[in-house]
Amino acid sequence: MATKHPTISLAVQRQPAADVETPQNSTALLSNTDSDAPATLTLRQPVNVPLITNFIRRPPSSRKTDLIDKQVVAMVTKGHHSLRMVEEPEFRKLIDMVSTCPGYQLPTRKTFSQSLIPKTYKERLDWAKRSVGCFAHLLNLVVQDSLKTVAGVVNKVKAVVEFFKRSAQAQAKLETAQKQMNLPLLKLKQECPTRWNSCFDMLERILKIKDAVISTIALTRSDLNIQTVEWDLISKIVPILRPFYEVTLEISAEQNVSLSKVLICTKLLSKQIVQQINTNQHPDIAVFLNRLNHNVNARFRDFESNTLYADTAILDPRFKQKAFRTPEAYRRANENLRRRVAEVRIQVPITPIVDVQEQLPPEEPVQSSSSIWEEFDVEMSRTTRPECSVAAGIKELDKYLLEEPLNRKEDPLKWWHSRKHIYPHLYTVVLSRLCIQATSVSCERVFSSAGQVVSDRRRLLKPSKITQMLFLHHNM
C-alpha 289/C-alpha 285 separation (Å) is 6
Higher pLDDT, residue 84 or 57:
84
- Answer whether residue 31 is part of any domain: no
Specify whether the CB–CB gap between 157 and 210 falls below 8 A. Answer: no
Distances (CA, A) of 76 to 72, 99, 334, 461: 6, 19, 57, 22
Confidence check: pLDDT of 439 > 90: no
Mean pLDDT of the chain: 79
For the stretch 275-304, pLDDT in tens is 999 998 899 999 999 999 999 999 998 899
Which has the higher per-residue pLDDT, 213 or 380?
A: 213
Mean pLDDT of 306-317: 94
Q: pLDDT class for 270, splitting at 50, 70, 90?
A: very high
What's the mean pLDDT in 15-41?
43
Tell me the CA distances in angstroms from 409 to 250, 257, 305, 309, 405, one per residue in order.
12, 11, 27, 20, 11
> In the predicted model, is pLDDT for residue 442 greater than 90?
no
Evaluate whether residue 437 is within a structural domain: no
For residue 374, being part of any structural domain is answered with no
**114-136 tens-digit pLDDT:** 898 888 888 777 655 556 778 88
pLDDT band with cut points at 50, 70 and 90 for residue 39: very low
pLDDT of residue 79: 82
Count of structural domains within the chain: 1
* pLDDT of amino acid 54: 59
Nearest to 269 by CA among 295, 243, 305: 243
Domain that holds residue 170: 135-301
Does 416 fall in a domain?
no
| 466 or 459, higher pLDDT | 466
**What does the alpha-carbon distance between residue 11 and residue 173 come to, in Å, rounded to a whole number?**
94
The reported pLDDT for the residue numbered 136 is 87
On whether residue 160 sits in a domain, the answer given is yes
| 163 within some domain | yes
Amino acid occupying residue 8: I
* Region 388-403 average pLDDT: 86
- Residue 41 within any structural domain of the chain: no
Average pLDDT of 358-377?
Answer: 58
Rounded Cα gap, residues 419 and 428, in angstroms: 12
Q: In whole angstroms, what is the distance from residue 129 CA to residue 61 CA? A: 48
Is 323 within the bounds of a domain? no
Q: How many CB atoms lie within 10 A of CB 391?
A: 11
Q: Which residues contact 225 (CB under 8 A, 6 or more apart)?
A: 214, 217, 218
